[in-house]
Amino acid sequence: MNTRFSIKSTVGSAPWIWSYAAAAVMALVTITFSRASGGLDLLTASMSFATFFALTGVAQLFVITLGPGNIDLSIPANINLSAAVAMQVMGGSDTMVLIGLLAAMAVGSLVGLGNYLLIALLKIPPIIATLASSFVVQSIAIAYAGGYRVQPPPGLKEFVRAKIGPVPLMALAAILITMCLAVLLHKTPFGRGITALGQNPTAARLANIAVERTRALTYALAATIAAFCGVLLAAFSGGSSLEMGNEYLLSSIAVVVIGGTAITGGRSFLSGVWGASFFLFLLITMLNALGASPGLRLMMMGIIICLVVFLASFRNAGIGQAVFAPLLKASRRPR
Amino acid sequence: MQTDKIRPVLLDLTGVDKSFGQVHALSGVSLSLHQGLCTGLVGHNGAGKSTLINVIAGFLPPSAGDVAFDGVGTLNLLSIDQRSALGIRCVLQELSLCPNLTVAENTQLLHRHLRGRGWRRKAADLIIAKLDDIFPGHGIAPHTELRRLPLGARQMVEIARAFTQTTTEVRLVILDEPTSSLDTQSSAQLLRYVRTFVEGGKNCLFVSHKMDEITSVTDEVVVLKDGRVVHQIETKDTSRAEIVSKMGSIDTDLRGASQKKTFGGKDSDGIALGLPAGPDIPPLSLRPGEVIGLAGLAGDGQTEALKSVLARYKRKCTFVAGDRATDGVFPLWSIKHNTSIGALHSLLSNGIIRSQSEAKLANDWKDKIGIRASGIDADLTSLSGGNQQKVLFARALASASDIVLMDDPTRGVDVGTKREIYQIIEAEAQTGRSFLWYSTEFDELTYCDRVLVFCQGKVAVVLEGAEINEQNVIAFSFGQKVSA
């Protein structure tokens, strides 16, 4: 009795565990289906691609934590613009990598502040404000990049492809950044302010939390993370393109929710974003291995993400609890 | 009373009880309304006025007792709509009109049989005629959406709608603080109309905090106190002073009157409060270690006063919410996180919150003010209301702020916990913390060094020492002037 209770309460307070369970199951299924001997290759690939899902997810998580209605739909356009800026500033030269990266992140933070200003000053709901700003940002990207594809500097290209054993260096860097952001969210007054705001904005204001400053900084931070992700993505795929961010709109929201974070804000798990990103990548891989055509694949993706988010919305507890908890219950019944 | 004996009874309440859990809002209310009279219903905060009119209008079923209506017998099983069809209408303090519908459409909601072609015009004619009747020169267009009207106009529509009559005769109209958002002229128009209405043999139950209105419009006055009818008298036989005195308790055994020392601090050491105040009130300040109570009728500006002080002094202040769910609780957090949120800056090393310091802070305060919980990592929402309130106190006291603002913090808290909270406040005041304490309970005001009584959004009087008693608080909150 006692052990069962403690397992239940542990998982209840850490719903992100389920996203890893789902990823593990998906990995087994994928390996079985592809009958691949290259388990290590799968690990390398999933870590590289999961990095992009995870970083956009982390960006989205910060905004979602702010509370009901908060969301950033400008992440794809922001990725497209920031990557284009970075590649142009770098101009293929290794000496300009840092400056290009900073330029991209500066662009990102401006996009984030713009989002906040639309929301706060014009009192537009975030879903509309960020969608509108994404059109503006995308238009700027088109005008700025003009359809050229600038190659990334060779050093940067090397970095994003580098591995320690089977583990990509880029993924390790992104995991390190996620850990720092977890400290920011859970262990600093700023992060506590975000979480408090997501639960009860009136109480947050009365507890002397600088509500508007917290909101503004959070939107800016999220957009900066997305811009950083855009630079890595451009380096990884051999130069920026104007559509490369587009697949990260739905996925950024999906990995947050699959990772056990409350879609209504105030309760967030950065670790879950990574588990969910692995799950999502493996899901796509499996669909590829099954030989699904691109159209079918996209359709399946849409259906599965909707289903997962729907299941995850039960008690804000992540996909796993919704799927596995009934099974666990059923397996216990004979006792 | 002679005349009443001749008039038939319209509404008869016998032994009406209403309790919410442990709280008895009404106990054994028996009351008869005789036809053709306007009855004033008065009482201080929490006396049970709202509960009583909700029971009569059918919004709340009584826990015991009977509400009988002339020619119908008991009303207990009838819905609000059915009561409305009998001619019982109710204008509540919180406006009940739909903001997205027009004036005419809102009128139709009360008269569902207005249907078919041209129902809007019929409803419009009905409501405009009544508005013209009650508030001549109102200037309200019948096809305006409610939300486009100013608050005063909305209240005029709500009142006029209650008096509109189509198939059934309107016999009793309950008006709960009907003039709270009307200007002087419209208020006077309404009072005139109520008189002509009752002189036509109809009834009005008139709830108001404004004694001028009670004395000018009613035929009889019913005083409620602690859920009981303590006094019922013809208006012409009583006085404003008598009514007000009946609302308080005769019992003056207050702790403060005997024990209260004169507070020693100097004004110059304190912070200026900058509260809205009447003309005779000197600039108010809160001195270190002082406990100042804010009293008066609920919603007369006390919460706004606290929030204005918070906005002015920000981090120097900390706030204890009375309306926990709305203003205080972070429901997804543990006791620990709920406690530490006001004190995070004292727990930092290199900008990061030290887990050990945070746990120690929460544990210390849990022990110090006796929060009964399994541990500081338990969810706040797993605690009882009283213990949640203690966590909010812990949050305020754990912060570095010197000024504690309390917004009726013992609302819905049991007696034992209240005592503990009073002790905490006294102990903290000894250490030099100052408190600004809005309370709706007289007993709590005796813990204060000074009491500011609010009336209509302003500080009407400052009471000190032995002046702090129930009679004074009631008298000044109903607008008594300070005698020279």
Please tell me if residue B328 touches chain A, with a CB cutoff of 8 Å: yes
Average pLDDT score, chain B = 86
Q: In the prediction, which pLDDT does A38 show?
A: 67
Q: In the prediction, which pLDDT does B484 show?
A: 41
Query: Could you tell me if A67 and A197 are in contact, meaning their C-beta atoms sit under 8 angstroms apart?
Result: yes
CATH of domain A7-332: 1.10.3470
Contacts of B304 in chain A (CB under 8 A): none
pTM: 0.76
Residue A68 pLDDT > 60, yes or no?
A: yes
Contacts of B326 in chain A (CB under 8 A): 200, 202-203
Across the interface, which of B314, B315, B332 has its CB nearest the CB of A267? Answer: B332
Sign of the dihedral defined by the CA atoms of residues B304, B309, B312, B316, in that order: negative
**Pairwise CB contact (< 8 Å): A207 & B341:** yes
Q: In the prediction, which pLDDT does B172 show?
A: 93
Rounded to 10°, the helix A248-258/A39-65 angle is 90
**Pairwise CB contact (< 8 Å): B328 & A203:** yes
**Pairwise CB contact (< 8 Å): B348 & A207:** no
Query: Could you tell me if A273 and A178 are in contact, meaning their C-beta atoms sit under 8 angstroms apart?
Result: yes
**Domains in chain B: ranges and CATH:** 2-247 (3.40.50.300), 267-477 (3.40.50.300)
Residue among A14, A5, A78 at smallest CA distance from A320: A14
Please tell me if residue A207 touches chain B, with a CB cutoff of 8 Å: yes
Query: Could you tell me if B227 and B62 are in contact, meaning their C-beta atoms sit under 8 angstroms apart?
Result: no
Confidence of residue B263 (pLDDT cuts 50, 70, 90): low
Please tell me if residue A267 touches chain B, with a CB cutoff of 8 Å: yes
Q: In the prediction, which pLDDT does B482 show?
A: 64
**Pairwise CB contact (< 8 Å): A200 & B348:** no
Residues B357-375: pLDDT tens digits? 999 999 999 998 888 888 8
- In this prediction the ipTM stands at 0.85
Q: In the prediction, which pLDDT does B78 show?
A: 82
**Pairwise CB contact (< 8 Å): A187 & B352:** yes
Across the interface, which of B317, B327, B341 has its CB nearest the CB of A192? Answer: B341
Mean pLDDT of A253-262: 88
Residues B78-113: pLDDT tens digits? 887 888 888 899 998 767 889 899 999 999 998 888
Confidence of residue A1 (pLDDT cuts 50, 70, 90): very low
Q: In the prediction, which pLDDT does B267 show?
A: 64
Residues B396-421: pLDDT tens digits? 999 989 999 999 888 767 777 788 88
For chain A, give every domain's residue range.
Answer: 7-332
Contacts of B401 in chain A (CB under 8 A): 208
